[in-house]
C-alpha cells in the first residue's frame, strides 16, 4: 500500500498544474472559502499511489462528495459508473453546464 502522505513539493505541483481550480467542478480556489486540497483520484485504500498521475486538485465539496469511492450506481439504470478521472478523461465528455449563473461580484472581489 502506498503512503498517503503528500509532500509539499507534490502538493505545489498538483495545484500549479490545475491552475488552482478544482479539477472536478472547475471552480477556482479563490471562489471557495475553504479553498482546495490535493485528492487521491484512486484512494490509497483501493490501491492508488501518491504520485502526480493519481493526484488532482479538488475543492472541499467535490472531495467530500467523492470520498474514497471509485464510482457510483446510476439510480435510473442500476449501472455502476466510475467517477471522472482528471488524468484520463475530458471534462466536457463527463459534465455540462446547465443554467449556469456567472456572478460578476466574484470577479470584482479579486
Determine if 25 is a binding residue for Zn ion (CB under 5 A). Answer: yes
User: Which are the contacts of 80, defined by CB distance < 8 A and separation ≥ 6?
Assistant: 71, 72, 73, 74
CB of 21 to Zn ion, least distance (A): 8
What is the three-class DSSP state of 65? helix
DSSP string, 16-31: HHTTTB-TTT--BGGG
Among 42, 59, 66, 86, binds Zn ion (CB under 5 A): 59
Determine if 24 is a binding residue for Zn ion (CB under 5 A). Answer: yes
Beta-bridge partner residues of 57: 38
Determine if 22 is a binding residue for Zn ion (CB under 5 A). Answer: yes
CB of 81 to Zn ion, least distance (A): 18
Binding residues (CB under 5 A) for Zn ion: these are 22, 24-25, 59, 62
Amino acid at each position: 500500500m502506498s503512503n498517503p502522505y503528500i509532500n509539499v513539493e507534490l502538493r505545489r505541483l498538483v495545484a500549479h498544474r490545475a491552475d488552482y481550480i478544482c479539477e472536478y467542478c472547475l471552480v477556482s480556489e479563490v471562489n471557495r472559502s475553504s479553498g482546495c486540497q490535493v485528492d487521491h483520484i484512486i484512494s490509497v485504500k483501493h490501491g492508488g499511489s501518491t504520485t502526480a498521475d493519481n493526484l488532482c486538485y479538488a475543492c472541499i465539496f467535490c472531495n467530500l462528495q467523492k470520498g474514497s469511492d471509485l464510482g457510483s450506481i446510476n439510480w435510473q439504470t442500476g449501472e455502476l459508473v466510475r467517477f471522472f478521472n482528471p488524468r484520463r478523461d475530458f471534462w466536457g465528455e463527463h459534465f455540462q453546464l446547465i443554467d449556469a449563473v456567472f456572478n460578476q461580484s466574484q470577479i470584482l472581489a479579486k
